[in-house]
Chain A
Amino acid sequence: MATTKHMSPIDTGYFSDERAAAFDVVGTPAPRSDARGHVTGQTQYFEDVAYPGMAHLKMHRSARHHALVKGVDTSAAETTPGVLRVITHRDVPNNWYTILRLIGVQPDDEPVLAEDRVLYLGEPIVAVVAETEAIAREAAAKVRVDYEDLPAVLDVEEALKPETIVVNPKHGHNYFTYEGHHCRRIRFGDVERGFAEAPHRFTHTYQSAPIEHAPVEPTGCVVKPEADVRLKIHSDTQACYFTLDNTALILGVPFNRLRVIGGTVGGGFGGKVDVMVEPIACIAAQLTNRPVKYVYERAEEMQVSSPRAAERITIDDGVTDDGRIIARKVTILVDAGAYSRHSPYGTTKAAAHMPGPYTIPNVWVDAHCVYTNRTPSSAMRGFGVTIADFALESQMDRIARALDIDPIVIRLRNAYRDGDMKAHRKEVEGAALVEVMQKAADLVGHDLPADCRAMSSTHREAR
């Protein structure tokens, strides 16, 4: 095999009995099946598809963080030469949805096109379909919206105060309701007793800001009305059936009326699972009986497409003299922005990730999915976990330094082992945290005491 790629060595000394196997094709650096297409420019992405008579959709978006919409004047847009159709919420058969409704997440809290209010800067209000992108853009800019400003809620702790204005009327308060409760909870053991027994206490808060996927290929689709009344959707979605099912429900058509073609995406990272462009493009295609392309401008991709949620995480630890965490209390505030999207799911995933890969006998977690007047956040690479790991592993380091314990040794002492009970009451299996640390210590020449070098994930050594 002629690969020139430098590959990381697989250290077969670890778990050698478990991993022993003989394969022919698996485990080899088989050349990527798509590489030749990429280097010859023949790989086809959705925007490389073009149809005769294709029309273009551009969106008029909210210029306010939070406002009532008193009136919308589309007359100037409608009379612009080259404009085929102007689309408002009245043209959307079922305007309200939430992307995870098909797996039981409720309520349907987001409109395809805004009705009586806007909840974030950039929220879509009016779609313009025209002969060219330039005309669509020009006409979209001519839409006039009459706003009545409302207070903008931009901080998650402010949002949770009872006196703060409600951001999303479909929820009635600024948090997602988990089975009648205001947050996702983990209750394992008794943290207060653990704190009482612990000689050391560490309480710190960590904060992240929203992060964009920024794939080089922007979000978009091309929808073609077919001769048999069906719609063919070329999309860069990460999930063909999320797109198909949600679009069908919004359009009020049987699922098999739609066909989604995709599978080759110019970077996703979780940013192309929100079904933001296909429904309105389908409506446009139906209303004009023309193929319609709707692709995000880069500025829209940056500020309007969903980012990774900003998170505020407070970790409160009770720790013994030898660095074992015996009580961990975590509050997570996930900034979901104006609408749910995937955040209710991501917040549960964050709670499930607690308290990190460590065996801690007393764990308490409140994970809140909080609504604010900003671009709705959604899934991104490491959803629910990435920012948590920043907090968890910064915290570990601080404890190690305060107690003057080696940073690897403290993690090894706390690391989970096979058979341990996790805070969500699932038994650990297939653990390997001990071994990745041992190997990393080896690679960087970080000395470990003999007892640490002898540790294993398969059992917990006697103390």
Chain B
Amino acid sequence: MRSQVINLTVNGTERELLAKPGTTLLGALRDGLGLTAAKRGCAQGGCGACTVVVNGAAVPSCLIPVEVADGATVETLEGMASGQHLTPLQQAFVDGFATQCGFCTSGMLMSASALLAENPAPTRDEVAVAISGNVCRCTGYAAIIDAILDAADRTRAVGSAAAD
């Protein structure tokens, strides 16, 4: 089988890459485009460390053949922060001590980002469901859930301040 030209819009920029058969979206991002924030924890879709947002949905990029993603809009953690300023979501994780080893953090932030884009005022249970595919071995999840709820509050506060 021959390699295929894949076109993706990654973090707002159009990217083109040549992918061998068997390349996953995760592999294309990490090895093809040098975007290493998404992590390879299991390659089985079971840990969520590879979570990115494709056409608005949080997905396990290790299970997606890159050919299937051809033409899609992909958001990775590298697209979340620009320069010195963190988004309310990222800042909430920092202030809330919601990271320990950090390996699950990229996936958690992408799952949270997809949730908050669709549901700006989630309940605690809705947050738990949104991250139920993201394994964390260090934190016990509570601080992560708190940070996502805090981020939702901060985002709404910024929104209403802007509206005033």
Residues of A within 8 A of B (CB): 2-6, 29, 31-32, 34-45, 47-48, 50, 134, 213-218, 265-267, 269, 297-298
Contact = CB atoms under 8 A, between A and B. Distances in A.
Interface string B123-144: 0000000000001111000010
Contacts, number: 112
B47 A216 contact: yes
13 contacts: A3-B97, A4-B96, A35-B93, A38-B99, A39-B86, A40-B81, A44-B36, A48-B36, A216-B49, A265-B101, A266-B103, A267-B100, A298-B46
B161 to A, nearest CB: 18
Contacts of B42: 218, 298
Contacts of A218: 40-42
Given A38-B105, A43-B102, A266 B94 contact: no
Contacts of A44: 36
Contacts of B47: 216, 298
A4 B146 CA distance: 9
A48 B38 CA distance: 10
B136 to A, nearest CB: 7
B136 A216 contact: yes
A324 B3 CA distance: 75
Interface residues of B, number: 44
A47 B39 CA distance: 9
Contact of A217 (B41, B95, B97): B41
Nearest to B105: A38
Q: Main SS of the interface on chain A?
A: loop
A215 to B, nearest CB: 6
A39 B46 contact: no
A43 B76 CA distance: 15
A134 B97 contact: no
B80 interface: yes
B41 A39 contact: no
Given A3-B95, A297-B43, A298-B44, A36 B103 contact: no
Given A216-B137, A265-B101, A267-B138, A39 B90 contact: yes
Given A39-B109, A298-B44, A214 B137 contact: yes
Contacts of A29: 97
Contacts of A6: 146
Given A43-B102, A265-B101, A266-B39, A215 B137 contact: yes
Contact of A47 (B40, B97, B99): B40
A269 B94 contact: no
A44 B99 CA distance: 15
A216 B135 contact: yes
Contacts of A213: 137
Nearest to A297: B43
B145 interface: no
Contacts of B104: 216
B39 to A, nearest CB: 7
